[in-house]
Amino acid sequence: MAIFQGTLFVLMGIAVVMLYVVSTYKKRKQTEYGNDERWKSIVSAAAAVVYRYNSVLVVAVVLGNFIYRLIGGDIYLRLDDVFWLLLLMLLIGNIVEFIAFLVYDRKM
């Protein structure tokens, strides 16, 4: 269990750093492009990717809950582990957003 906690801690650190990187990247590129139509289309495309990520995450949680209820088994998790995982999944959205910005910035 200690390895699991350590891995979560490292991943959370990476996700928080990515939050800073995404916000810095967005500020720099918005200044560089002068908030023109190209930049607005890049932001719109990246937002669509993040929306899809969040939709997939919601579907996975709903399906997981449905399967758990269907099986009826007992799984014991500590509540803080559940919150760490949920927070980690939300912060991974920043990594997805950054990758989307990089891809669409090169494409457009």
pTM: 0.77
Domain count, the chain: 1
- Provide the residue-wise pLDDT of the chain in tens; the chain has 108 residues: 677 778 878 877 888 888 899 999 999 999 998 889 999 999 999 999 999 999 999 999 899 888 888 887 777 778 877 787 888 887 888 889 999 999 999 988
Look up residue 74 and give its two tokens: 């007992």
Structural domain for 36, as ranges: 2-107
Distances (CA, A) of 17 to 7, 53, 74: 15, 19, 36
- The CA distances from residue 53 to 5, 62, 79, in Å, are 24, 14, 24
Report the amino acid identity of residue 11.
Answer: L
Whole-number pLDDT of residue 1: 63
How far is the C-alpha of 79 from the C-alpha of 92, rounded, in Å?
A: 20
